[in-house]
Chain A
Amino acid sequence: MINPHDSVIVRTMSRMLIPLIQLFALYVLFFGQYGPGGGFVGGVMLGTSLILGILVYGRDGVPCRAARKLMHGDGVGLIIFAGVGGICLVMGGQFLNYSSLEIPLADDARRRYLGILMTQIGVAVDIAVTAISIVFSLSPINDTEDTEPSRD
């Protein structure tokens, strides 16, 4: 069902817009500690930029192939989030208590800041990959459909 879009306007505009969306998503992700936003919104926007690419350039386009590669990272975000908590546990603190992360040259507040940043990256990765994965689930892309005749 995912075929490349015919219109030149749509293709040109999305070629311009996709990097902008990704830049804004990264801004929202890394400045979530200073303004509105954070891991959730940043992840959704990263995912949506790739979804736009998939819908416009079709199943043979670069975004679709990149998204297929990204889908192998399903669960990495959750591992990052829980892993930061686990590192806190290993370093002798409580689970998800970032002040026990032993980062040199960082006081208590700075450690919590870095812990929040790392877990936000984890959330963003998890949500972006999940959004792409749900889009692939909802749109049947049969690799075998064109080459192999159905047997029944």
Chain B
Amino acid sequence: MIFSFEIPLLILLLLTAAGAIIVKDLISAVLILGSYSFVLALVWAWLGAVDVAFVEAVVGAGLATVFFLLTLFNASPKDTEIRRQPVPFIAFLGLPMLGLLLLFAAEDLPEFSDPKSPASVHVSPEYLEQSYQKTDTENVVTSVLMDYRGFDTLIETAVIFTAGIACALLLRRDSK
């Protein structure tokens, strides 16, 4: 049955996302956000995107949690206090309408795993058919990331390098 995994995962996802917003202190929110990433990784794995699930589990649940916690431990308690504004009345009116609009737009999206959908008729068949002969690499995702889309990955690597440099420039005050 198709709904046997979908519905519990979706409920868990919504619960952890809401919990991270509602909870009273920030450390609990960070940990709940980590569990949210794990549930999201399960969703990706269930959809068949194993590489994305791997990255989500390692980065979202592991590395990002460590970064958040280190930031929280170094901030003063006055800065990490949560001051919640009361929800304005217009949000109760506007957000359901936005949700309805998005659901209405989602009607036009192609069916999941539809072979005739625009995304899977353009260049995907070429990758799936020829990437093993051309690159000797069994994992299509790796060959697309590193060879067919090598420029994108190069710039992504540069972005991550820039992030590290920017953190060092902004936060390290002890170095000469």
Contacts and interface: CB of A to CB of B under 8 A. Distances in A.
Contacts of B136: 109-110, 112-113
Interface residues of A, number: 56
Contacts, number: 145
Contact of A138 (B55, B70, B143): B70
Interface in A45-64: 45, 47-48, 51, 55
A81 B154 contact: yes
Interface string B68-102: 00110110000000000000000000000000000
A89 interface: no
Nearest to B164: A130
A27 to B, nearest CB: 12
A10 B19 CA distance: 29
Nearest to B173: A140
Determine the interface band of chain B, counting residues with CB < 8 A from chain A.
Answer: 35 or more
Majority DSSP secondary structure for residues of A touching B: helix
Contact of B167 (A41, A48, A108, A134): A134
A36 B140 CA distance: 10
B70 A77 contact: no
Interface in A111-152: 112-113, 115-116, 119-120, 122-123, 126-127, 129-131, 133-145
B52 to A, nearest CB: 9
Contact of A1 (B63, B73, B147, B157): B73
